[in-house]
Structure 1
């Protein structure tokens, strides 16, 4: 899926309130821009996305049927 397909999925499923989907979208956007970015900036943004994901904690606990 490219970033526009992920965005349509998020819109279609009302996923704007699901931060794990937004992180997946942001990661795909970053991957699409990787060749246009200096490696240090790419790594910096990737590190930021990783931290955002880690900040979510165990968001799936109690929601396994919904998200997996």
Structure 2
């Protein structure tokens, strides 16, 4: 399983900085790693912030699946 540093390197090497879903994954991973040092309120607030940003992504990718995610065939 990747830690946040490995995930950040992967995003950088794969030019994923322009892929917002990868950046959200990185934020989630960092939050997971810092969970023990946060109060329950801080953790929930940060998780809600990440969720809100995820929901803003919407379905912008519909009709562009191959372009955005690559063809799986």
Q: TM-score with structure 1 length normalisation?
A: 0.90
RCO (CA 8 Å, sep 6+): is it higher in 1 or 2?
A: 1
Shift of residue 61, structure 1, vs aligned partner: 1.3
Give 1:6's aligned residue.
Answer: 7
Consecutive unaligned residues in structure 1, runs of 5 or more: none
Q: Say which one has the larger Rg.
A: 2
Consecutive unaligned residues in structure 2, runs of 5 or more: none
Q: Which runs of 4+ in 1 moved over 4 A?
A: none
Give 1:23's aligned residue.
Answer: 24
Give 1:46's aligned residue.
Answer: 47
